[in-house]
Structure 1
Amino acid sequence: MLTIYGVYRSRASRNIWLAEELGIPFKQVPVIQHYRTVPAGMLHTQSPEFLKVNPNGLIPSIDDDGLVLHESLAINLYLARKHGGPLAAANVAEEGEIAMWSLWAATGVEPHAINVLYHRLGNPTGEKDPKVADAAVEALRRPFAVLEQALVKSGWLVGGRFTVADLNVAEIVRYAQAAPELFETSPRVKTWLAACQARPGFKKMWAARDAEPA
């Protein structure tokens, strides 16, 4: 059985959402970030037991019948390819596009989107810096314009359908929702993200995330 290590309020949400989309049975092992308030007896990212799974001390990780993988986006690419279906690439060209969009989001969007989230809503230390948030919003205007143009043809990123590329990118773009002005100037991005988050797999994951202690 697939085992996913991580709490819902972490990047493990990406893997849990994909597992729900694909109908993969899985076991979740709650592992919390070490810098948060760790309940007594709960594993955290620096726990010796978890470091045996992922010596990087980061979540998520998976164990899929003995195959241990780290890095949330890579895990999703693996799971989609293994289980197939419409979320996976239909051919090698789509596989390249899916990898391209996932890496684009990780490198060009996520660092800024995280700063929007942390400095508009508050980071784990509770600190907020409006100047950092504003700079991040400005840095995101170009990638949002790129994404807006990419959605013109079909409203999806690859193959005219919802794929793991949309899921991976949506989970990163989600951090920028604390800056609604970005979405007002990119209406296709706003519509696309709403469509991604309207999917039953996302809703099930998000309900469990909401039920988890902050």
Structure 2
Amino acid sequence: MPLPPPSPVADRPVSSFAIDVPESLLARARAGEGAAFEQIYRWFERPVFTLAVRIAGDREEATEVLQETMLKVLTRIGDFRGHRDGSGTPFWGWLRQIAVNEALMRLRSRRRHEHGDSDEEHLADDRIPPPPAAADAAALGRALAQLPEATRSVLWLYHAEGYTHEEIAALMQRSISFSKSQLARGSRRLRQLLEPEQAHA
């Protein structure tokens, strides 16, 4: 069963998926109106693609993740009930969960024959600072691309999307300590990679 999106916490980042979709538009999409779904596609195309690139690390795969995500949203939108069933799940959280699952599924398929790092290495607390605010998007993208796939995924889900270590562990089918170790290791490496970029800025 998919996890619900993280509960709002004051110091969590605002996800790029956090778009308020009117119930009237959802009703039209549920009724099969193509124009309504096209509007939803336009609103979420960029956040889905960005998340997919950060996790999958490849624009071609990210395009496939985008297509598969939106196809699933189209075929399952009738199942989304959101606030009406008392779950309190916003539409963007439901759609984001589909995108994350799709991207991580591709990551896991590439990882099947690889040896994972020890879950217990380099544990750190949850308050590791995000990447330097001075880093522009292009520099951050170049630095993230140099990180191992699992490390990059943890960093993005934690810092950009606001998932907790417990949620990331469940999504990636790993342990909580694995999420913490990847966050600590990735944050250190990301800062090292960004320092030369800033020095030459």
TM-score in terms of structure 1 length: 0.27
Greater length-normalized contact order (CA 8 Å, ≥ 6 residues apart): 2
Higher strand share: 1
TM-score in terms of structure 2 length: 0.29
